[in-house]
Amino acid sequence: MLNLAQATDPGWVQRALADLDEVLIDHAHCEKKAASTAVSLLFRYPERHELLEPLSQLAREELEHFELMLGHLDRLGIRFYRQLPSPYAGELMKAIRPNEPERAVDTLLCLSLIEARSCERMKLLADALEEPSLRELYASLLASEARHHQTYVDLARAIEPDVDVRGRLRELAQHEASVIAASPEMPRMHA
């Protein structure tokens, strides 16, 4: 369902739990970044009307999650601060073809894979965490991530109905698997 080519290495969740504060802060940054990326596409594709309302709604939901994460950080006494991001998203996006409409399709599919990876990892966190309200948080968020994954795939199909979106998604999922496997072992959602 998530279209990922490779499951997360079992060591990731142990590393995440060992440096949980850093991972929670990174997760807040990821929600903010997801909102910002969706908003940036509203500027890049104003004439792609089928994208506008779904992307705006998605950005609002990511901002709600950002606020939710800030609330949890506050509750746990963890200070939010600027972090060095994981190279994951930048490396993943290098596979985007430069010309339109391929650029639009690839961008949407890369974003769908980021959501899919987030969803997979939130499930791992929901199962492994001991603090009840963090378990509950991740159990609730992973459903949104799965939905966002599907929204991005649907949008790619909507803007280019004649393109083999399914085939391209498989190719990009292979690339995503190699990017995540090569990521440095940082305490991050996507590392």
* Cβ-based nearer residue to a copy of itself, 83 or 150: 83
Q: How far is the CB of 6 from a copy of itself (least distance, A)?
A: 31
Q: Do 118 and 146 meet the contact criterion of CB atoms below 8 Å apart?
A: no
Q: Taking the complex as a whole, how short is the minimal distance between the CB of residue 108 and a copy of itself, in angstroms?
A: 19
Q: Which two tokens stand for residue 50?
A: 């089928």
Could you tell me the smallest distance in angstroms from the CB atom of residue 81 to a copy of itself?
6
Nearer to a copy of itself, 100 or 164 (CB): 100
Cβ-based nearer residue to a copy of itself, 74 or 127: 74
Q: How far is the CB of 84 from a copy of itself (least distance, A)?
A: 12
Q: How far is the CB of 13 from a copy of itself (least distance, A)?
A: 26
**Residue labelled with tokens 């799965």:** 146
CA distances to 55, 64, 116 from 183, in Å: 28, 28, 17
Closest CB to a copy of itself among residues 46, 174 = 46
The two structure tokens encoding residue 77: 């006494």
Angle (CA) 142 149 144, round 5°: 30
Give the interface with a copy of itself as residue ranges (CB under 8 A). Answer: 29, 32, 35-36, 39-40, 42-43, 46-47, 49, 52-53, 56-57, 59-60, 63-64, 66-67, 70, 80-82
- Cβ-based nearer residue to a copy of itself, 70 or 158: 70
